[in-house]
Structure formats: C-alpha cells, structure tokens
Homo-oligomer: A and B are copies of this chain.
C-alpha cells in the first residue's frame, strides 16, 4: 500500500507512526526532518515521531510537532494489572508534553458521538475525568499543591448539534479561559491490529481530516489560541485498506506486479459512499476499557499529588 493509493481513496492516516511506515516503505529510508525515539516498558513500547521542519510536514501530511505512540496489545486483554501499567506510562508521557504551573486551568474535550459506539471514546473519557475546577478554590491549601483546576466537556458532533464542534469549544474557551486543552478522539488505523491497542499523543492538537467522524474541524493552537494536546485511539480501520492489502498479497502470491486497484476498490465500496469502516464485534468492551485507561492517565498527570484514596475524601 502506498501513499498514492491512500490519496486516491481520500484516506489520511491518523497515526504518525503509520504515515511514516508507508512513506519509508516507498523510499526505503528515513524521511528528512523526521526523527524517531523509542522506549520500552513491560507491557508497552513508546515511539516518538518528531516532525521537525516544513518539508517533513508536507511529506507526512501532519503539522510540525511531537507524536508519541504507545503500543500496548495488552489493552485488549482482560488484565487489570497490565492496564494499570499502561495508565502509568500514559500519565508519564502526558506530563512530558506540558509544563504548566499547578494553578492554571486545563480543559478536557471528549470529541465524538456518544450514540455511536466506535466514536464514543471521547465522551466516555469525559465521564470518568476528575473535574476539579468548581472545587479548586474550596479545597484545602495542602491539596491544591497537588491538584489542578480541570474542567471537561463532550461537545458532540455536527450531526447531533448542528454546530461545528470547534465553535462550541471556542465558545467555552472564551468563557473559562483555560491554559491548555486536552482533546480525546477516536481514530482510524491502517492496521486493524491497532484497534484499542495503540494510543497516540500529539502536541499539535486535532487537525482537519483526522478522527473517524472525518470532518472534525481543527482544534489546535491556531483555532483556539492556546496549546492543544490530542490523545487518540484507533477504534476502526478502513475497509479500503483491507481490500488493498488483500489485493497486494494476492498479486504477489501469483508472482504479479500490483497495479492501481483504487478504481476496483471504489466500485466495491461504492454502496457505502466509499467510506466503510471495520470494527471488531467486541467494540463495546474495548471502548469501555480504553476510556478507563485514558481517563486514569489524564487524572494521574493532572493531579500528581492526589492518590486514589484522596479522590473520595476530598473531592466527592
């Protein structure tokens, strides 16, 4: 599968890691202006793709910035201990991406449609976030040292609200004046193996064309006036890509040279507007588990001084 195919199918890869793989697969070498770091944990590996200059931005189709990918196949297993470790890895990586005084406001934005399971990750995370903005001023002084004023919202999608998501968020930003937005979104992956096993953090926010709702408007420094961290998890993959993978594998198996299959695939997918996505049957459970990990990681990173036990005593 090459970038020409993706372009002809109008698919943009949400994960920087996958975008890089495709391009490297074509050129056989690292992309100029792209730098990659790796870390390994017990149940997770972390790869950071740095897009460092304008040239790399054009090739990758993603803004200059840092894209941290946590790969943790263990999320799909019912292993609570391992889930806690992934939560901690997420919290650590999140903390690296911002450096804010404790007293500054943070706004968590859960993007997506709460009525469509594969797109409901963002709203589910919001439901589990520890919001403190309304309590902050009443909290004991010694507690304030370890917690931040956090607010959270799930603005919905255009089809439910009739309003561009970015407009709603901007309205709330102007009223509540946060210093940072953390936006959570469902993504589409190139590889179905990544569904509910990969978490991407990006310091570039949400940019048009990303997300499975695929007309998400930009929620980034430019549109919001403040820094936006994006947390994304693939919850679907494109049927077009599975079809293309199969064609390539088959053509190879008969010793042929794969040509341009985009027209053929478009015809097969036409009845669905070319936009059919693949979701595992167990998606309900996967969204549940992933939302818990993401919310846990955000809570830990935001409120370093609050242990699980403090939640109850001080904040409910």
Interface size on A, residues (CB 8 A): 89
State whether the Cβ of A259 lies closer than 8 Å to any Cβ in chain B: yes
A64 at the interface (CB under 8 A from B): no
Whether B280 and A261, one on each chain, are in contact in the complex, defined by CB atoms closer than 8 angstroms, is no
Answer whether residue A284 sits at the interface, using C-beta atoms and an 8 A cutoff: yes
**Contact indicator A117/B283 (Cβ below 8 Å):** yes
Chain B proximity of A35: nearest CB distance (Å): 29
B175→A131 contact, CB < 8 A: no
The docked-state distance in angstroms from the alpha carbon of A131 to that of B151 is 27
Closest to A261 in B: B250
Instruction: Tell me whether B272 and A245 are in contact (CB under 8 A).
Output: no
* Cα A114 to Cα B271 with chains together (Å): 29
Q: B116, B171, B243: which contacts A282 (Cβ < 8 A)? A: B116
For the complex, is A239 an interface residue (Cβ under 8 Å from B)? yes
**Cβ distance A151 to chain B, nearest Cβ, rounded Å:** 4
Most interface-central of A80, A250, A312 (chain B CB within 10 A)? A250
Asked whether any CB of chain B lies closer than 8 Å to the CB of A278, the reply is yes
Q: Does A89 contact B (CB under 8 A)?
A: no
Docked complex: A105-119 residues within 8 A CB-CB of B = 114-119
Query: With A131-B161, A159-B131, A312-B79 given, is the CB distance from A268 to B283 under 8 Å?
Result: no
**Cα-based distance from A250 to B249 in the complex (angstroms):** 13
With both beta carbons as reference points, the residue of chain B lying nearest to A214 in the complex is identified as B281
CB proximity to B under 8 Å, residues A57-95: 74, 77-82
B245 touches A242 (CB 8 A): no
Contacts of A297 in B (CB 8 A): none
Question: A184 an interface residue at 8 Å Cβ cutoff?
Answer: no
Cross-chain contact B268 with A277 (CB below 8 angstroms): no
Q: Contacts of A156 on B, CB cut-off 8 Å?
A: 153-154
The 3 closest A-B pairs by CB, nearest first: A171-B171, A79-B312, A133-B162
Given A77-B312, A134-B163, A250-B261, 14 further pairs, Cβ under 8 A: A79-B309, A116-B283, A117-B284, A133-B163, A134-B162, A149-B162, A153-B156, A167-B175, A244-B246, A249-B265, A250-B264, A277-B281, A279-B279, A279-B283
